[in-house]
C-alpha cells in the first residue's frame, strides 16, 4: 500500500475516534486502509502540541498619558479606542488593554437620535412654551401614531447569556418583518385606545379623518358637554394632521381655535405620549421577542397597553409644566424625554 501524503478531515476524525477507543496505529491503518506511516506521522504531529507563546513586555501607561487619553475621549465622542490612543501618540498598546483603560473613564454608547433644530424652530418652541405656560394640561388630549414591527429594534435583542450556552437564533426579515400602525391618546390619567390603522392604508388627510371618525369620535361622543367644552386636542404637524382638510373636519366636530393646540416643529420631546410608546415597546420587545404575524404583534400592543395604569399616564401628563420650563431655560433647545 502506497504512502498517502494528506489526510481528509473525515479520516482525521476517524483516527481520533479510534484512538479514543484504544485502537493501535497499526489497527487503525488496517481499518481505514491507509499506510501505517501516514497514521503514525499524524499521531506524532498531533502530540507535539503548539509552541509556547512568547510573552512580550506590555507598554506601561503613565499618569500623564492617562490624562491625555481622558481629554481625547471627551473631545472625540464615538471614536474607537485605537483612534483615541493614536490621537495621543500612544502606540504599542493592545486592544484589550486600551478597552480596559477606557472602561474606567468612559462608556460605549450609541449616538442619540433627535430631529434637527434651527434658529426658527427654537424660537417657535419658545413661543409655544410661553403661550401654554398657564394651561391646565389635565384637559389636553395628547395624540400620536406609532409603527410597531414584528422584529423590533436590533439593538434591543441583547442580554446576558450563561457560560456554555448558545445565543438563541433571531430571524432576519426585510423591513423588520412588516408591522402595524397604531394610534392612541392620553388625557389626565386615561388612555384613549390604542386603535389599529387598517393594514395597507396610507394615512393621508381623508383616511386620517375617516380613522378618527371610526375610533376617536366613538370615545369623544360619550363624554359630557363640560368635558367637550374644556378639552384641548393635540396632534403633531404631520401632513395628514395639519392639512386644511383635516383642520376643517376637526372644526366641524367643534375642535377649533383654542381647542386645537398649535404645535411647534420638530418637537417629539415635548409630547408625553412618546414616553408611553417607549413603555409599550419595552414590554413587547423585552428579551429580544419577535412576533410571527401582524395580528400577534397587535395583540402584544393591546396587552402591553392594558398593563399601563392610570398613575403612569398621570405622571406623563403632569410632566408638561416641567417640559415647558426646560424649553424656556434651554432657549428652545432639545430637552430629551
Q: For the chain, give the percent of residues with pLDDT over 70.
A: 90
Grid cell 403633531 in the structure block, residue: 236
Comparing 32-36, 160-164, 179-183, 280-284, which segment has the lowest mean pLDDT?
A: 160-164
Q: What is the mean pLDDT of the chain?
A: 87
pLDDT at res. 47: 63
Sequence-distant contacts of 290-297: CB under 8 A, at least 24 apart: 290/150, 290/151, 290/152, 290/170, 290/171, 290/177, 291/150, 291/151, 291/177, 292/150, 293/150, 294/150, 294/178, 294/179, 294/180, 294/199, 297/148, 297/149, 297/150, 297/179, 297/180
d(Cα 152, Cα 148) in Å, to the nearest integer?
Answer: 7
Quick count: other Cβ atoms within 10 Å of Cβ 30? 13
For residues 302-308, average pLDDT: 95
Q: Model confidence over 213-234: pLDDT tens digits?
A: 999 988 999 999 999 999 999 9
* pLDDT higher than 90, residue 119: yes
Q: Which DSSP category does 177 fall into?
A: G
| pLDDT per position as a tens digit, 68-79 | 999 998 888 888
For the entire predicted model, the pTM comes to: 0.69
Q: What pLDDT is attached to residue 337?
A: 63
Residue 174 confidence class, pLDDT cut points 50, 70, 90: low
Structural domain boundaries in the chain: 10-44, 63-105, 119-156+176-330
Q: What is the pLDDT of residue 118?
A: 92
Choose which CATH entry (3.30.420.10, 3.20.20.150, 3.40.50.2300, 3.30.450.30) describes domain 119-156+176-330: 3.30.420.10
- The answer to whether residue 203 scores a pLDDT higher than 60 is yes
Per-residue pLDDT, 156: 61
**pLDDT given at position 7:** 83
pLDDT tens digits, one per residue of 54-100: 656 667 889 999 999 999 988 888 889 999 999 999 988 888 888 88
Amino acid at each position: 500500500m502506497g504512502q498517502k501524503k494528506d489526510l481528509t478531515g473525515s479520516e482525521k476524525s476517524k483516527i481520533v475516534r479510534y484512538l479514543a477507543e484504544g485502537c493501535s496505529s497499526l489497527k487503525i491503518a488496517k481499518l481505514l486502509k491507509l499506510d501505517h506511516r501516514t497514521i503514525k506521522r499524524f499521531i506524532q504531529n498531533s502530540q507535539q502540541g503548539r509552541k509556547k507563546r512568547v510573552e512580550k513586555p506590555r507598554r506601561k501607561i503613565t499618569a500623564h498619558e492617562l490624562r491625555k487619553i481622558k481629554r481625547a475621549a471627551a473631545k472625540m465622542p464615538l471614536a474607537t479606542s485605537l483612534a483615541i490612543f493614536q490621537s495621543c501618540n500612544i502606540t504599542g498598546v493592545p486592544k484589550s488593554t486600551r478597552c480596559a483603560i477606557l472602561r474606567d473613564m468612559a462608556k460605549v454608547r450609541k449616538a442619540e437620535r433627535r430631529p434637527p433644530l434651527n434658529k426658527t424652530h427654537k424660537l417657535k418652541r419658545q413661543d409655544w412654551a410661553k403661550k401654554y405656560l398657564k394651561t391646565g394640561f389635565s384637559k389636553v388630549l395628547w395624540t400620536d401614531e406609532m409603527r410597531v414591527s414584528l422584529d423590533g429594534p436590533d439593538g434591543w435583542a441583547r442580554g446576558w447569556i450563561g457560560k456554555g450556552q448558545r445565543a438563541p437564533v433571531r430571524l432576519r426579515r426585510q423591513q423588520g418583518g412588516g408591522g402595524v400602525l397604531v394610534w392612541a391618546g392620553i388625557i389626565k390619567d386615561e388612555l384613549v385606545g390604542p386603535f389599529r390603522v387598517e393594514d395597507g392604508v396610507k394615512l393621508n388627510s381623508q383616511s386620517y379623518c375617516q380613522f378618527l371618525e371610526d375610533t376617536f369620535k366613538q370615545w369623544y361622543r360619550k363624554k359630557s358637554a363640560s368635558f367637550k367644552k374644556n378639552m384641548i386636542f393635540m396632534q403633531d404637524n404631520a401632513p395628514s394632521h395639519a392639512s386644511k382638510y383635516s383642520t376643517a373636519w376637526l372644526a366641524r366636530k367643534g375642535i377649533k381655535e383654542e381647542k386645537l393646540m398649535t404645535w411647534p416643529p420638530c418637537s417629539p420631546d415635548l409630547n408625553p405620549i412618546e414616553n408611553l410608546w417607549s413603555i409599550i415597546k419595552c414590554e413587547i420587545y423585552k428579551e429580544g421577542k419577535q412576533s410571527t404575524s401582524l395580528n400577534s404583534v397587535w395583540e402584544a400592543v393591546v396587552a402591553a397597553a392594558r398593563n399601563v395604569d392610570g398613575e403612569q399616564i398621570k405622571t406623563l401628563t403632569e410632566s408638561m409644566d416641567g417640559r415647558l420650563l426646560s424649553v424656556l431655560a434651554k432657549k428652545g433647545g432639545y430637552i430629551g424625554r
